[in-house]
Structure 1
Amino acid sequence: MGTSVPIDDSLSSQCFTPNSICYTTNNNINADEIPTIDYSVLFSSDPNIQAKALDYLSTACHNYGFFYLVNHGVPEYVFKSVFKAISDYFEPTVIEDRMKYQKKSSTDMIRWELRSSAAENREYLKMVTHPNYHSPSNQTTFSETMEDYYTRMREVVHGLGKAISKTLGMEESFIEKAFKLESGFDVSAMNLYPPNFKSKGSMGVPDHTDPGFFVSLIQDINGGLQILSHQGKWIDVNYMPSNAILINTGDHLEILSNGKYKSHVHRVVVDNNNVKRVSVATLHGPSLDAFVKPAPEFLDDALPPNYDGATYKHYLEANGQHLIDVQSNIQQFRHN
């Protein structure tokens, strides 16, 4: 469970829900726990409360690269509607409708795939959701449900852009401008992981980092995700607070901050699934034409650039991959 720190009544009044716990600075976080960030407190009108919340967010980004986000303003009924829409879409009897979105070309804005091997075991649908929203045809309810979710998540993207900019000691528009977030390139993967007795392999998604600013993840059932700690230990993400969003920082926040904030390795395992699991992972990236490099504010004579700069489009296509693949290529841009 994420580490939570109850604080005084003046801070608890900033929470959206009665009797909820707010989260603030704690430098004694258990290494096997993931921090929990109260989104609402990041924008408190009390400067002392906001400073503590931003300090805790900085610790989460620097030491973990992952955190739970609560009180983010996306209602629980939206999550439930999303999980139902995805489960209905992945109904086995209508797989033929999904097969028309199998890999075709580098210009695909929607892609479906079924992978059943020892290396990876899941069925997924990927869609480009921003700056233009794409969705399967003849799926009105699914399309409207998902578009509502993504529209709400864009507000979270902009809010975290402001908050994380402040944790870096910059003005709140720093990330917004550097990444051109108004036209940011977002790709969402809706995943269906089968129960273990139907699984041909133990791995849902192999070890990887993700490109972009950050990834937001919601899932209907806890378990499966593992995060690699700085000490080289895999941490199980077995618990997510109610109505929480799991955030993990991406390659381009690492590049922009010249390594101050890292993009962390993670994977998905399906060995212990007793039932199917649905998740939605959305990669929130810079604009395709945004040229991202280490910002001058993070450079000096003792700390030269650790990464080469590139447009986000070039980064995603660096190894002959398609934009919708949104694969990490950070090793190619990181200096030895």
Structure 2
Amino acid sequence: MREMGIQLLRGISKSLGLEEYYIEKKMKLESGYNILGPNFYQSLSRCSDDKNQIGQFPHRDPGLLVFIAQNVGGGLQIKDQGKWLNADFPTSSIGVLVADHIEILTNGKYKSLLHRVALNTTVERLSLPFFFGPSLDATVKPEPEFVDDHNPPSYRQMTYKEYLESNSRYHVIEARANLINEALL
């Protein structure tokens, strides 16, 4: 996953007219902080009569990119122009979402995707998101290439660690990461 993330970020750098290794260097990816955070969602038939149940409420993810593998071809939804759209992809593939720190770095030129999980009516869902992030000590801010008189900085500067610590969801992710690490030992 790490190598795939680096290759995608090189492509994003080039798409922005920057040097190929721009994001890789700025985000100190040689010591990036990556997390695997498995999620399990029961089917609606097992948990409620409410057919509009949400397995995970709308949110955006920290990091640069999020890779998602899942056991069923549905459940993930993204918000586009005010509407929730199913982000279906085959179970044999990996979905990729742009995360918060690409949005911050590009001052909003690339957008972190607002997404949620809708519960399946009959099938349980297991997803394995891999959060591909910068180094904990990388300073994340709108880079000068994306700031001018018409586009002032939309985000304040902070390290990735400071961002994660200010986001209460980080503690859930960190706890999961610690549990996984302990299980692997």
Query: What is the TM-score when the length of structure 1 is the normalising length?
Result: 0.48
Task: Structure 1: give runs of 5+ residues left out of the alignment.
Answer: 1-152, 327-336
In the alignment, what sits opposite 1:267? Answer: 116
In the alignment, what sits opposite 1:254? Answer: 103
In the alignment, what sits opposite 1:183? Answer: 31
In the alignment, what sits opposite 2:43? Answer: 195
- After TM superposition, give the deviation of residue 243 of structure 1 in Å: 2.9
Task: Structure 2: give runs of 5+ residues left out of the alignment.
Answer: 175-185
**Is residue 187–residue 324 contact of structure 1 (8 Å, CA) maintained in 2?**
no
Matched residues in 1 for 2:111 and 2:151: separation? 16
Judged with a 3 Å threshold, the aligned counterparts in structure 2 of structure 1 residues 192 and 184 are, in CA distance, closer, same or farther, namely: same
Judged with a 3 Å threshold, the aligned counterparts in structure 2 of structure 1 residues 269 and 251 are, in CA distance, closer, same or farther, namely: same
Matched residues in 1 for 2:5 and 2:102: separation? 13
Q: Deviations over 1:202-245 (max 9, x none)?
A: 1111000111101100111111111100x2000012x3146321
Judged with a 3 Å threshold, the aligned counterparts in structure 2 of structure 1 residues 242 and 280 are, in CA distance, closer, same or farther, namely: closer
Matched residues in 2 for 1:291 and 1:281: separation? 24
Q: Equivalent residue of 1:306, what SS?
A: coil
Q: Deviations over 1:138-185 (max 9, x none)?
A: xxxxxxxxxxxxxxx111011111111101110111110111111111
In the alignment, what sits opposite 1:221? Answer: 72
**Within-5 A mapping of 1:1-336:** 153-200=1-48, 202-229=53-80, 231-237=81-87, 239-241=88-90, 243-270=92-119, 272-319=120-167, 322-323=170-171, 325=173
Judged with a 3 Å threshold, the aligned counterparts in structure 2 of structure 1 residues 324 and 181 are, in CA distance, closer, same or farther, namely: farther
Matched residues in 2 for 1:321 and 1:264: separation? 16
Matched residues in 2 for 1:222 and 1:319: separation? 29
Identity of aligned residues (%): 47
In the alignment, what sits opposite 1:81? Answer: none
Looking at CA atoms only, which structure, 1 or 2, has the larger radius of gyration?
1
**Is residue 41–residue 124 contact of structure 2 (8 Å, CA) maintained in 1?**
yes
Instruction: Note the aligned Cα RMSD (angstroms).
Output: 1.7
Larger RCO (CA within 8 A; separation ≥ 6)? 2
**Is residue 73–residue 91 contact of structure 2 (8 Å, CA) maintained in 1?**
no
**Is residue 219–residue 279 contact of structure 1 (8 Å, CA) maintained in 2?**
yes
Q: Deviations over 1:45-71 (max 9, x none)?
A: xxxxxxxxxxxxxxxxxxxxxxxxxxx
Query: What is the TM-score when the length of structure 2 is the normalising length?
Result: 0.86
Q: Equivalent residue of 2:37, what SS?
A: strand
